[in-house]
Structure 1
């Protein structure tokens, strides 16, 4: 039994969709108390909000969840982080690796970033985002985790006391046996952690096989999906029939910032109304939320609407100067979470949410503890259904993924 700890809600839901698509039952939990009630399954995911958490807090959360997974029968633990290992030098990936490595006496501990099908790859240890070095991509403008160093070995080494080595694409393309020989050689050089290249899907598959006998591993989507498939033996027939989407009005909530979110909102606004909330509005949050819900109430119906806190780069930087980077983001999340709760109270039953942290805040606000993910049906993963406290359809996506029309297509897909 494999327990996967995802560092945000959207990432956990995304990989669950791919794992379900492989025929492997994979419940997604949002509350650690739910772990104790797990029915016997091969893989389970719990979504957390550790991505931006201080290192000590993230390690404490991972430790508590690991203990609960172990009591539920899990013999393997994986920590799932975002495809580009979003982090700063004070980030928590290294400290979580230290905890897991020490707990399971795992040496070497294998790590792998990247998600090739979405244009994030690692080649010769260097991170590329949409075919550009991450330091030359839009990721260098990320308001919370600007990526300025593309050397993943060097970046990870700044977060941990242990030695980080590299298993590169040249070693991986020779097949599992050749890769294992090189892996043993790199470990023999004194490296406690080994980053595995992810230049393509074959690299991810080989890396997962190399990690399959380990008690623990850390990786982004591609690595963890393949790791789950290997550990579960290629699938089972134990899944319940797929759930059906909820009926009712739809709404879109966008808390992500940057050119990807802006393009998706612009495409949506060509067809449906969009309300943009200014984070620099000096009124109380309660007043801002009340105005947003008043605007939305008049428009809830057969056609979807959108509410966003996204802004252009200048506005984001101004908000950060006024509130601080993390505080500005948290304010946006609180406002959108309250708006989401108000929309559901007013009858909305289909929600598309852009932004990992925003999704986490909204799921918590709605009291959702567990969902069932839909396999990819041509639009990617991220679709799920909650039954408690209400029957709700959700589409939760990372802010920087998806085509320009993904929000339009998502609300339509939830009609099925």
Structure 2
């Protein structure tokens, strides 16, 4: 296999989203959930990981494993894909990912790029904005695992690496490719190990992609720059994703928390049954899973099972299990529920939350999938046909999507089943 680019994504929802963008542009772009999933020809390969919230040492080990796997599979270059808002703790994992790419390739500086202008995430003069507000003033500051409290990405990323982080601003990028290349070279001469590129608009992203190709430097970036670079390096083969249609109702599993997913679940409850599980209920994980599966067995159509709760409920569970412990407990419950649902015959799953998506896909035992191009649901839909057993999945970031997106997911899944 020879692929122009291998991409290591820091979560499963992001992996499927960029794969869908590339599939829509005509690239064969399988999403790999396990190294054993590599097979056949591909224009671009995407490895879905759970690096975003893992301890830095574990994340480095997983990134290193996938880097070596993708290179051994024939990828000419490897990039690391982070989320648009560069969600991360002060200890990692974006700086360590950049340092690992530098160590593996022997090249510096690493080009860094956050933001996704299409969805209201931008970087200007090194400051990260989310939906027209500094990220530190947005809902991103409330994330239970990766609260983004510092909008200055040069300063924030500088805490994650011992190598200096420099900035190429929007004004320099507006000057064109030559000006941007000269700025990167000047920063490199002054000892910068990493260079952050503004993403004030799509023009910044396009110049940044030209820069990455021209300088042949490793890239750690969010969706738009990764996709733009892939389009410059790979040749589309126009091999569409195909899988036999799955059958049956849609099971919605929501592990994310916060106002966005709570509003989506409230809207869904007006038309479909929703079971909310309290992590503090007696009986532990096994008791919660058993109750959820028994409840699901009594449903005649599509439904939702969730551990999402309001701020008070989240505080209660975190007071007992800690922030990470509560999140991992919710993922374990929903992952076990997903496995049980598959055994009972469910083949359509809509999952809200990046970490929850990773846990559910792992529990389903999937090695790879093909993303579908952007459609009725936007991005995030993928198909797996492992062992002749087709599955349809819609993997949604917890903080994205219209208020009725879960209803739309059910409608789309049921439409495919007819």
- Under a length normalisation based on structure 1, what TM-score does the superposition of the two structures give? 0.95
Give 1:244 shift. 5.1
Cα separation, 1, equivalents of 2:286 and 2:180: 57
The question of 1:157 aligning with 2:158 is answered yes
1:141-177 per-residue CA deviation (whole Å, 9 max, x = no partner) reads: 1111111100000000000000100111111122222
Q: Name the counterpart of 1:327.
A: 325
Runs of 5+ consecutive residues of structure 1 not aligned to the other structure? none
The alignment status of 1:217 with 2:219, answered yes or no, reads: yes
Partner in structure 1 of residue 23 of structure 2:
20
CA-to-aligned-CA distance 1:272-296 (integer Å, 9 cap, x gap): 1100000111322111111111111
> What's the RMSD between the two structures over aligned residues?
1.4
- Is residue 296 from structure 1 mapped to residue 278 from structure 2 by the alignment? no
Q: Which runs of 5+ in 2 are unaligned?
A: none
1:182 CA drift (Å):
2.4
SS in structure 2 of the partner of residue 212 of structure 1: helix
8 A contact 1:300–1:348 mirrored in 2? no
- What's the CA shift for 1:267? 1.1
Q: Secondary structure at the match of 1:329?
A: helix
Deviations 1:36-85 (A, max 9, x none): xx323221001011111111111111111111111111120111111111
Q: For the residues of structure 2 that align with 1:130 and 1:151, how far apart are their CA atoms? A: 16
Q: Shift of residue 247 of structure 1?
A: 2.0
> Is the contact made by 1:27 and 1:372 (CA closer than 8 Å) also made in structure 2?
yes
Q: Tell me, yes or no, if structure 1 residue 8 matches structure 2 residue 11.
A: yes
- Residue 34 of structure 1 deviates from its aligned partner by 2.3
Q: CA deviation at 1:4?
A: 0.5
Aligned-pair CA distance for 1:333: 0.4
Kindly indicate whether the alpha-carbon contact (under 8 Å) linking 2:90 and 2:156 is maintained by their aligned counterparts in 1. Answer: yes
Structure 1 residue 23, shift from structure 2 partner: 0.9
Query: Partner residue of 2:141?
Result: 140
Give TM-score scaled by structure 2 length: 0.95
Residues in 1 aligned to 2:177 and 2:404: alpha-carbon distance in whole angstroms: 39
Partner of 1:126: 127
- Verify the 8 A CA contact 2:22 2:29 in the aligned structure 1: yes
Task: Tell me which stretches of 4 or more aligned residues in structure 1 moved more than 4 Å.
Answer: none
Q: Shift in Å at residue 379 of structure 1? A: 2.8
Q: How does 1:274-353 map to 2 (within 5 A)?
A: 274-301=274-301, 304-353=302-351
1:177-203 deviation digits (Å, cap 9, x = unpaired): 232222222333321100111112221
Q: Pick the aligned partner of 2:361 from 349, 355, 363.
A: 363
Within 1, Cα distance between the matches of 2:87 and 2:64? Answer: 21
